[in-house]
Copies of this chain bind each other. A is one copy, B any other.
Amino acid sequence: MSGFNKVINSYEEAMNGLVDGMTIISGGFGLCGIPEHLIKEIKRKGTKELTIASNNCGTDEHGLGLLLSDHQIKKVIASYVGENALFETQMMNGEIEVDLTPQGTLAEKMRAGGAGIPAFYTPTGYGTPVGEGKEVREFNGRKYILEEALQGDFSIAKAWKGDRHGNLIFRRTARNFNPMAITAGKISVVEVEEIVEVGDLDPDQIHLPGIYVDRLIKGTFEKNIEQRTIRSS
Protein backbone atom coordinates (compact mmCIF):
# COMPACT_ATOMS: atom_id res chain seq x y z
CA MET A 1 0.00 0.00 0.00
CA SER A 2 2.92 2.36 -0.56
CA GLY A 3 1.96 3.22 -4.11
CA PHE A 4 0.91 6.78 -3.35
CA ASN A 5 3.50 7.72 -0.76
CA LYS A 6 5.65 10.26 -2.59
CA VAL A 7 7.58 11.42 0.47
CA ILE A 8 11.34 10.87 0.43
CA ASN A 9 13.81 11.73 3.14
CA SER A 10 17.07 12.83 1.54
CA TYR A 11 18.03 15.33 -1.10
CA GLU A 12 20.33 12.72 -2.58
CA GLU A 13 17.31 10.54 -3.23
CA ALA A 14 15.41 13.56 -4.48
CA MET A 15 17.73 14.15 -7.42
CA ASN A 16 18.57 10.50 -8.00
CA GLY A 17 18.73 9.76 -11.72
CA LEU A 18 19.87 13.21 -12.78
CA VAL A 19 22.81 12.85 -15.15
CA ASP A 20 24.91 15.12 -17.37
CA GLY A 21 23.13 16.63 -20.33
CA MET A 22 19.61 16.46 -18.95
CA THR A 23 16.94 19.15 -19.15
CA ILE A 24 15.52 20.52 -15.90
CA ILE A 25 12.39 22.64 -15.66
CA SER A 26 12.37 24.78 -12.56
CA GLY A 27 9.68 26.73 -10.74
CA GLY A 28 10.33 30.07 -9.07
CA PHE A 29 10.31 33.76 -9.98
CA GLY A 30 13.43 35.61 -9.01
CA LEU A 31 14.26 34.10 -5.61
CA CYS A 32 10.57 33.73 -4.73
CA GLY A 33 9.26 30.17 -4.48
CA ILE A 34 12.45 28.51 -5.65
CA PRO A 35 13.44 24.93 -4.76
CA GLU A 36 16.43 26.09 -2.72
CA HIS A 37 17.76 22.74 -1.58
CA LEU A 38 17.14 20.86 -4.80
CA ILE A 39 19.31 23.44 -6.55
CA LYS A 40 21.97 23.05 -3.86
CA GLU A 41 21.85 19.28 -4.31
CA ILE A 42 22.41 19.69 -8.06
CA LYS A 43 25.42 21.86 -7.21
CA ARG A 44 26.69 19.20 -4.78
CA LYS A 45 26.25 16.44 -7.35
CA GLY A 46 28.17 18.50 -9.89
CA THR A 47 25.99 17.39 -12.79
CA LYS A 48 27.12 19.14 -15.97
CA GLU A 49 25.88 20.19 -19.42
CA LEU A 50 22.44 20.93 -18.04
CA THR A 51 19.69 22.71 -19.91
CA ILE A 52 17.62 24.75 -17.48
CA ALA A 53 14.19 26.19 -18.21
CA SER A 54 13.23 28.75 -15.59
CA ASN A 55 11.92 32.29 -15.67
CA ASN A 56 15.15 33.64 -14.18
CA CYS A 57 18.52 32.21 -13.31
CA GLY A 58 18.67 33.39 -9.70
CA THR A 59 21.36 35.76 -8.43
CA ASP A 60 25.08 35.27 -8.05
CA GLU A 61 24.61 34.02 -4.49
CA HIS A 62 21.25 32.30 -4.56
CA GLY A 63 19.04 30.00 -6.59
CA LEU A 64 20.01 28.69 -10.00
CA GLY A 65 22.87 31.21 -10.08
CA LEU A 66 24.72 28.74 -7.82
CA LEU A 67 25.10 26.38 -10.76
CA LEU A 68 26.96 28.98 -12.81
CA SER A 69 30.20 29.13 -10.84
CA ASP A 70 31.03 25.47 -11.57
CA HIS A 71 29.86 25.79 -15.18
CA GLN A 72 27.13 23.19 -14.78
CA ILE A 73 24.74 24.89 -17.19
CA LYS A 74 25.00 24.56 -20.97
CA LYS A 75 21.79 26.32 -21.91
CA VAL A 76 19.17 28.46 -20.23
CA ILE A 77 15.62 29.02 -21.40
CA ALA A 78 14.46 32.13 -19.51
CA SER A 79 12.59 35.39 -19.91
CA TYR A 80 14.84 37.54 -17.77
CA VAL A 81 18.54 37.36 -17.05
CA GLY A 82 19.15 40.64 -15.25
CA GLU A 83 20.41 40.85 -11.67
CA ASN A 84 23.05 38.23 -12.23
CA ALA A 85 26.50 39.47 -13.21
CA LEU A 86 28.12 36.05 -13.64
CA PHE A 87 25.29 34.91 -15.86
CA GLU A 88 25.55 38.00 -18.03
CA THR A 89 29.30 37.47 -18.36
CA GLN A 90 28.99 33.79 -19.29
CA MET A 91 26.28 34.68 -21.78
CA MET A 92 28.31 37.50 -23.37
CA ASN A 93 31.34 35.15 -23.60
CA GLY A 94 29.25 32.51 -25.29
CA GLU A 95 29.90 30.01 -22.48
CA ILE A 96 26.18 29.63 -21.97
CA GLU A 97 23.58 29.41 -24.67
CA VAL A 98 20.50 31.46 -23.84
CA ASP A 99 17.08 31.07 -25.37
CA LEU A 100 15.30 34.28 -24.33
CA THR A 101 11.61 33.41 -24.16
CA PRO A 102 8.78 35.78 -23.26
CA GLN A 103 7.47 35.13 -19.77
CA GLY A 104 3.94 34.23 -20.86
CA THR A 105 5.18 32.04 -23.68
CA LEU A 106 7.52 30.24 -21.29
CA ALA A 107 4.68 29.60 -18.83
CA GLU A 108 2.42 28.39 -21.62
CA LYS A 109 5.14 26.16 -23.10
CA MET A 110 5.53 24.45 -19.72
CA ARG A 111 1.76 24.08 -19.35
CA ALA A 112 1.53 22.66 -22.88
CA GLY A 113 4.35 20.22 -22.11
CA GLY A 114 2.38 18.81 -19.22
CA ALA A 115 -0.97 18.94 -20.99
CA GLY A 116 -0.26 16.96 -24.15
CA ILE A 117 -0.45 20.04 -26.37
CA PRO A 118 2.62 19.83 -28.66
CA ALA A 119 2.35 23.41 -29.94
CA PHE A 120 0.19 26.52 -29.90
CA TYR A 121 -0.06 29.88 -31.61
CA THR A 122 0.54 33.12 -29.74
CA PRO A 123 0.69 36.79 -30.71
CA THR A 124 3.62 37.29 -28.35
CA GLY A 125 6.89 37.88 -30.15
CA TYR A 126 5.49 38.20 -33.66
CA GLY A 127 7.70 40.56 -35.66
CA THR A 128 10.48 40.46 -33.04
CA PRO A 129 13.66 38.37 -32.71
CA VAL A 130 11.59 35.82 -30.76
CA GLY A 131 9.52 35.13 -33.87
CA GLU A 132 12.49 34.62 -36.18
CA GLY A 133 12.47 31.22 -37.84
CA LYS A 134 9.05 30.39 -36.42
CA GLU A 135 5.94 29.80 -38.47
CA VAL A 136 3.66 32.83 -38.76
CA ARG A 137 -0.04 32.31 -39.29
CA GLU A 138 -3.01 34.61 -39.47
CA PHE A 139 -6.20 34.00 -37.53
CA ASN A 140 -9.06 36.50 -37.84
CA GLY A 141 -6.81 39.08 -39.43
CA ARG A 142 -4.09 39.02 -36.80
CA LYS A 143 -0.66 37.41 -36.98
CA TYR A 144 0.59 34.79 -34.58
CA ILE A 145 3.68 32.63 -34.22
CA LEU A 146 3.88 28.92 -33.49
CA GLU A 147 5.52 27.92 -30.21
CA GLU A 148 6.26 24.34 -29.20
CA ALA A 149 5.76 22.70 -25.82
CA LEU A 150 8.57 22.29 -23.33
CA GLN A 151 9.28 19.10 -21.41
CA GLY A 152 12.07 18.15 -19.06
CA ASP A 153 13.79 15.03 -17.81
CA PHE A 154 13.33 16.47 -14.34
CA SER A 155 11.25 19.24 -12.91
CA ILE A 156 12.11 20.85 -9.62
CA ALA A 157 9.70 23.04 -7.70
CA LYS A 158 8.70 24.46 -4.34
CA ALA A 159 5.28 24.41 -2.72
CA TRP A 160 3.91 25.43 0.66
CA LYS A 161 2.03 22.39 1.92
CA GLY A 162 1.84 18.92 0.50
CA ASP A 163 0.36 15.61 1.60
CA ARG A 164 1.86 12.14 1.17
CA HIS A 165 0.00 11.69 -2.13
CA GLY A 166 1.71 14.79 -3.51
CA ASN A 167 -1.33 17.07 -3.44
CA LEU A 168 0.02 20.60 -3.25
CA ILE A 169 -0.87 24.09 -2.08
CA PHE A 170 1.28 27.09 -2.91
CA ARG A 171 1.52 30.30 -0.93
CA ARG A 172 1.06 33.79 -2.40
CA THR A 173 3.33 34.71 -5.32
CA ALA A 174 5.58 31.77 -4.51
CA ARG A 175 3.12 29.91 -6.76
CA ASN A 176 4.38 31.53 -10.01
CA PHE A 177 5.86 28.94 -12.43
CA ASN A 178 5.82 26.07 -9.93
CA PRO A 179 2.56 24.32 -10.90
CA MET A 180 3.31 24.22 -14.64
CA ALA A 181 6.96 23.31 -14.10
CA ILE A 182 5.91 20.26 -12.10
CA THR A 183 3.56 19.01 -14.84
CA ALA A 184 6.24 19.24 -17.54
CA GLY A 185 8.95 17.02 -16.05
CA LYS A 186 9.26 13.27 -16.61
CA ILE A 187 10.34 13.03 -12.97
CA SER A 188 9.00 15.82 -10.78
CA VAL A 189 10.55 16.65 -7.43
CA VAL A 190 8.90 19.08 -5.04
CA GLU A 191 10.14 20.69 -1.83
CA VAL A 192 7.52 21.80 0.67
CA GLU A 193 7.52 23.72 3.94
CA GLU A 194 5.09 21.34 5.59
CA ILE A 195 3.82 17.83 5.01
CA VAL A 196 0.22 17.44 6.12
CA GLU A 197 -1.94 14.35 6.58
CA VAL A 198 -3.80 12.97 3.57
CA GLY A 199 -7.31 14.39 3.85
CA ASP A 200 -6.21 17.61 5.59
CA LEU A 201 -6.37 19.59 2.37
CA ASP A 202 -9.84 20.53 1.10
CA PRO A 203 -10.25 18.81 -2.32
CA ASP A 204 -11.56 22.12 -3.75
CA GLN A 205 -8.48 23.97 -2.60
CA ILE A 206 -5.66 21.80 -3.88
CA HIS A 207 -3.68 23.80 -6.43
CA LEU A 208 -2.00 20.83 -8.04
CA PRO A 209 -3.20 17.21 -7.75
CA GLY A 210 -0.72 14.60 -6.55
CA ILE A 211 -0.77 12.73 -9.87
CA TYR A 212 1.87 15.18 -11.11
CA VAL A 213 4.27 14.68 -8.22
CA ASP A 214 6.82 11.87 -8.11
CA ARG A 215 8.95 12.85 -5.13
CA LEU A 216 8.15 15.10 -2.20
CA ILE A 217 10.57 16.32 0.44
CA LYS A 218 10.25 18.64 3.41
CA GLY A 219 12.71 21.50 3.60
CA THR A 220 13.49 24.57 5.68
CA PHE A 221 13.78 27.64 3.53
CA GLU A 222 15.93 30.78 3.58
CA LYS A 223 13.51 32.77 1.42
CA ASN A 224 15.94 35.45 0.38
CA ILE A 225 14.45 38.75 -0.78
CA GLU A 226 15.90 40.51 -3.83
CA GLN A 227 14.29 43.93 -3.38
CA ARG A 228 13.22 44.61 0.17
CA THR A 229 10.96 47.62 -0.40
CA ILE A 230 8.98 49.07 2.50
CA ARG A 231 6.84 52.10 3.23
CA SER A 232 6.95 54.08 6.43
CA SER A 233 3.51 53.90 8.05
What is the distance, in angstroms, from A155's C-beta to the closest C-beta of chain B?
19
Partner of A204 from the list B116, B137, B140, B170 (CB cut-off 8 Å) is B170
Closest chain B residue to A205 by CB distance? B205
Partner of A121 from the list B108, B120, B140, B142 (CB cut-off 8 Å) is B120
Closest chain B residue to A170 by CB distance? B204
Query: Range of interface residues on chain A?
Result: 20 to 34
Residues of B within 8 A of A117 (CB): 108, 120-122
Task: Say yes or no: is A171 at the interface (Cβ < 8 Å to chain B).
Answer: yes
What is the distance, in angstroms, from A23's C-beta to the closest C-beta of chain B?
14
Report the bound CA distance from A204 to B208 in whole Å.
13
Task: Say yes or no: is A119 at the interface (Cβ < 8 Å to chain B).
Answer: yes
Task: Say yes or no: is A118 at the interface (Cβ < 8 Å to chain B).
Answer: yes
- Residues 151 to 170 of chain A near chain B (Cβ within 8 Å): 169-170
Task: Say yes or no: is A209 at the interface (Cβ < 8 Å to chain B).
Answer: no
Closest chain B residue to A138 by CB distance? B118
The answer to whether A204 touches B169 (Cβ under 8 A) is yes
The answer to whether B120 touches A139 (Cβ under 8 A) is no
Asked if A140 meets B123 with Cβ closer than 8 Å, knowing A171-B204, A204-B169, A204-B172, the reply is no
Task: Say yes or no: is A177 at the interface (Cβ < 8 Å to chain B).
Answer: no
Report the bound CA distance from A232 to B155 in whole Å.
44
Residues of B within 8 A of A203 (CB): 172
Report the bound CA distance from A120 to B122 in whole Å.
9
Residues of B within 8 A of A108 (CB): 115, 117
Report the bound CA distance from A112 to B123 in whole Å.
12
Over the window 189-219 of chain A, the binary record of Cβ atoms lying under 8 Å from chain B Cβ atoms (1 yes, 0 no) is 0000000000000011101000000000000
Report the bound CA distance from A142 to B175 in whole Å.
32
What is the distance, in angstroms, from A109's C-beta to the closest C-beta of chain B?
12
Task: Say yes or no: is A144 at the interface (Cβ < 8 Å to chain B).
Answer: yes
Report the bound CA distance from A203 to B207 in whole Å.
12
Task: Say yes or no: is A49 at the interface (Cβ < 8 Å to chain B).
Answer: no
Closest chain B residue to A171 by CB distance? B204
Residues of B within 8 A of A97 (CB): none
Provide 7 A-B residue pairs closer than 8 Å at the C-beta atoms, listed in order of the A residue: A117-B121, A119-B139, A119-B144, A120-B120, A120-B121, A172-B203, A204-B207
